[in-house]
Structure 1
Amino acid sequence: METAIYQAYVRILTRELRPATGCTEPIAIAYAAAMARNTLGAVPDEIQAHCSGNIIKNVYGVTVPNSGGGRGVEIAAALGAVAGNADRELEVLARVSPEDLDRARGMVRRGKCSCLLAENAPPLYIRIEARAGADRCEVELEGGHTQIRRITRNGTVLQEHPASQDPLQADKALLSLAGIYEFANVLRAEDVCAVLDRQIACNTQIASEGLAHPYGACVGRTLMQEYDAKDIRIRATAMAAAGSDARMSGCPMPVVINSGSGNQGMAVSLPVIAYADELNATREQTYRALALANLIALLQKRYIGNLSAFCGAVCAAVGAVCGIAFLHGADEAILGKVINNTLCNVGGIVCDGAKPSCAAKIAAAVNAGLLGWAIAQRSGYAFGAGQGIASDDAEQTIANVGRMGRDGMRQTDTEILHIMLEQKRENCS
């Protein structure tokens, strides 16, 4: 494998697989608010959070970590402004004292934190406007959960960066199914052990927490109790769902993300980890399978983008089952069939925000991936050209699905947001 491509893939894994405490959209709001406090040099008296529809959608129904069960943009911004440690980026709310929580709740109760829809904004966009006494500041994020676009204080620009784009865009342009398969086969463990050991440790810990305690809809626990827990397919699916159960309900344990999402980070890794344990795979075999799984998920999201109306759990599940198949000796052709069979089955799952039902979508997507792999193994069959959006070439199928999720589902995204906001108004009336 060419050294430049190999190093690009290592950089992608190193920079994408980051730890985050809590759902990344409310955490991004908290991070921006913490940056605003740092800019002002004091806790703001008042905050306005101007957010894109996709940000609002993904904050509406998820519990903010260390918030005492709070949900929504307002409590995320208030906690970030009062207690956030911006230096920890996506772990900005890792430590919140009872006094901090009381102060943040007080800000929300007095109407000092408000959320406004940023019209015609990019999918991932947050602008915090904050005031402390006579001083005012703005902190603008765009394109990434911690990606600063601009910071101003009293009208003076303190930081400004070019229109946001993925800093790994050039590296990700080198991703291909053939390249990922080759990379996994020649991977040197020492190049990825630190980042993948962290993914294994963090994501396994929160999955165990979700299986041990009743979070959310208890999707993971239900799978283990209602089906044969000795079946590795059930255990692998339940682990991924249980991690989401805990995280969507405010568990403050960190998760290693994929494509900017903790749910996707868990869905792409935990089934592979479960199968690796079942097969007594070596550490090196596990690293290779996890690297392949993560990169195949990222290959798909390169076409779709981090936030859209397309459920990213599907991309993650496709990656996970490809990793599982790789552990069993699958070649590139089988991986292509797994991709086609899964995307042509559950490629229509919509993202209607982060919330407890994400765990069920993860379970459905992983189960569909395992079915797609079984079909490929037993009959050699793959859904292909002439069947809807499928192509005989798996990469073209990925591109087709990406086009559908990125362009075709824009109006779907808008309607989902309208429905959610209408329900919010009805609940508040």
Structure 2
Amino acid sequence: MEKSDLRYKNYVQILKEELVPAMGCTEPIAVAYASAKAREVLGKMPEKVVVEVSGNIIKNVKSVIVPNTNNLKGIEAAAAAGIVAGKSEKKLEAISEVTEEEKQKMKELMVNCPIKVVPADTNFIFYIQINLFYKESVVKVRIANYHTNIVLIEKDGEILYQKEAEVCKEEGLSDKKLLNIEDIIDFANSVDIEDIKDVIGKQIEYNSRIAEEGLKNNYGANIGSVLISTYGEDIKTRAKAKAAAGSDARMNGCELPVIILSGSGNQGMTASLPVIEYAKELNVSKEKLYRAVALSDLVTIHQKTGIGRLSAYCGAISAGAGSGAGIAYLHGGGYKEISHTIVNALSIVSGIVCDGAKASCAAKIAAGVDAGILGYNMYKNGQQFKDGDGIVKKGVEATICNVGKLAREGMRETDKEIIKIMID
């Protein structure tokens, strides 16, 4: 693929837009980010807070620890953290710099200032509106469709900033419809490493660091440590354990940043860490590693384009298939090997649901990575799932399209029921 090609420029830009740093689970951090912006516009600490959110935000914030809060959980904690200590210019790292005094003030705010969480009456799957009140003054900050997409800032009835937002559209981001597996492989083979060195390098550095932290210390259900203590340290187990350990730490209060993918730190780690481990095992060059991780990232994004950022479909499954594709690439695989790896992986684990961000995400990540590795080894041994086997259709693009329909349309009612169960 030539550098002058529109697809080349598009793919590089997609990676730059998607591979960004975040501290903690991205949905509570988005709440903190919006809250920080609202407090900056208000100009003082509020007397009352109302947080309006879509069901998927409730689902993904309910059970996860908000970093830099001394282990507080939930939307109220995320809002309080943003109001007290947030720096909106840092976006998804809005609460990365917090003092002990500010942590105490968060608790005091939650006691002294009513913070009410209200399910939003909206068709947006991703929706956050922060309403801050002080005497007669009211500030509203609204985010829609993705984590940093502020679409409204209003103070005392005056609109300070507004842009149009359509349901399931990602305003301001590159068009991902140009993505396809054949072109992704071409891009991975031909990309000038200098064009992706910064973003992929940070993904490798940040995500490796938090994975090591997850293995060394006690976080959540310690899935990474359990895998290694139970099954040993062969490459397959290490690949799963590293990705799981990163999630163990991130879901349970670790204050190290990760590089996210498709709005998710878990997906950013799942798409990269298994590929990194296999690259070490195979002793490939740094250039080959960068190409494999970029391929895994783009394969994951391609799948998620048809699914959406938030769904009842577990995003770790998309990233697990992506990592399987990256591992196949490291072994010298081309279009045929990579395509069958993806199809096989999706056939195995596409039934795993997302019931919010919490400790069990690490175990789901391990299952997704395992399916990616098995998908590759199946094809290497002359085995594959074929057209007509359940949701599998002839061709990788048709199967990816079917998974998108399953997740976006078929699991819509499943998503509502999951949220209902969690709220009840």
Query: TM-score band (shorter)?
Result: over 0.9
Question: Closer, same or farther in 2 for the Cα pair 1:187/1:168, shift >3 Å?
Answer: farther
C-alpha distance in 1 between matches for 2:241 and 2:389: 31
Write the letter of the residue equivalent to 1:147. N
C-alpha distance in 2 between matches for 1:213 and 1:133: 46
1:150 has 2:156 as partner: no
The alignment partner of 2:406 has SS state of helix
Which of 203, 209, 225 is the equivalent residue of 1:205? 209
RMSD: 1.1
1:247 corresponds to: 250
Q: After TM superposition, list the pairs within 5 Å mapping 1:7-406 onto structure 2.
A: 7-110=9-112, 112-164=114-166, 165-167=169-171, 171-229=175-233, 231-379=234-382, 381-406=383-408
Write the letter of the residue equivalent to 1:222. V
C-alpha distance in 1 between matches for 2:65 and 2:90: 20
C-alpha distance in 1 between matches for 2:129 and 2:231: 46
Q: What's the offset of the Cα at 1:281?
A: 1.3
C-alpha distance in 1 between matches for 2:384 and 2:42: 57
Residue pair 1:325, 1:373 contacting (<8 A) in 2 also:
yes
Residue pair 1:244, 1:263 contacting (<8 A) in 2 also:
yes
C-alpha distance in 1 between matches for 2:123 and 2:113: 25
Q: What's the offset of the Cα at 1:169?
A: 5.7
C-alpha distance in 2 between matches for 1:209 and 1:45: 39
Write the letter of the residue equivalent to 1:383. F
Q: What's the offset of the Cα at 1:43?
A: 2.0
C-alpha distance in 2 between matches for 1:214 and 1:102: 24
The alignment partner of 1:172 has SS state of coil
Q: What's the offset of the Cα at 1:46?
A: 1.5
Residue pair 2:165, 2:171 contacting (<8 A) in 1 also:
no
The alignment partner of 1:389 has SS state of coil
Residue pair 1:9, 1:171 contacting (<8 A) in 2 also:
no
Structure 1 gap segments, 5+ residues each:
423-429
Residue pair 1:210, 1:243 contacting (<8 A) in 2 also:
yes
Q: What's the offset of the Cα at 1:328?
A: 0.5
The alignment partner of 1:129 has SS state of strand
Residue pair 2:14, 2:174 contacting (<8 A) in 1 also:
no
What is the percent sequence identity of the aligned residues? 47
- Single out whichever of 13-22 and 92-101 deviates more from structure 2: 92-101
C-alpha distance in 1 between matches for 2:223 and 2:201: 26
The alignment partner of 1:50 has SS state of strand
2:416 corresponds to: 414
Q: What's the offset of the Cα at 1:4?
A: 1.0
Q: What's the offset of the Cα at 1:101?
A: 1.5
C-alpha distance in 1 between matches for 2:95 and 2:190: 38
Aligned residues: 420
Q: What's the offset of the Cα at 1:121?
A: 3.3
C-alpha distance in 1 between matches for 2:384 and 2:43: 59
Residue pair 1:12, 1:168 contacting (<8 A) in 2 also:
no
- Give every structure 1 segment of 4 or more consecutive aligned residues whose post-TM-superposition deviation is greater than 6 Å: none
The alignment partner of 1:108 has SS state of helix
- Single out whichever of 353-362 and 381-390 deviates more from structure 2: 381-390
C-alpha distance in 2 between matches for 1:275 and 1:149: 41
C-alpha distance in 2 between matches for 1:382 and 1:183: 26
Q: What's the offset of the Cα at 1:107?
A: 2.0
C-alpha distance in 1 between matches for 2:65 and 2:164: 33
Write the letter of the residue equivalent to 2:381. R
The alignment partner of 2:98 has SS state of coil
Residue pair 1:211, 1:242 contacting (<8 A) in 2 also:
yes
Write the letter of the residue equivalent to 1:299. H
Write the letter of the residue equivalent to 2:24. G
Q: What's the offset of the Cα at 1:386?
A: 1.3
Q: What's the offset of the Cα at 1:120?
A: 3.0
Q: Deviations over 1:122-145 (max 9, x none)?
A: 111000110123211100000110
C-alpha distance in 2 between matches for 1:139 and 1:302: 26
Q: What's the offset of the Cα at 1:294?
A: 0.1
Write the letter of the residue equivalent to 1:109. V
1:427 corresponds to: none
Residue pair 2:34, 2:141 contacting (<8 A) in 1 also:
yes
Residue pair 1:73, 1:115 contacting (<8 A) in 2 also:
yes
Q: Deviations over 1:150-200 (max 9, x none)?
A: 110000000000115324665311100010010011011100000011001
C-alpha distance in 2 between matches for 1:79 and 1:170: 31
Q: What's the offset of the Cα at 1:392?
A: 1.5
Write the letter of the residue equivalent to 1:55. I
C-alpha distance in 1 between matches for 2:113 and 2:83: 15
Q: Deviations over 1:221-265 (max 9, x none)?
A: 111111121x11101110000000000001010000000000000
C-alpha distance in 1 between matches for 2:198 and 2:255: 22
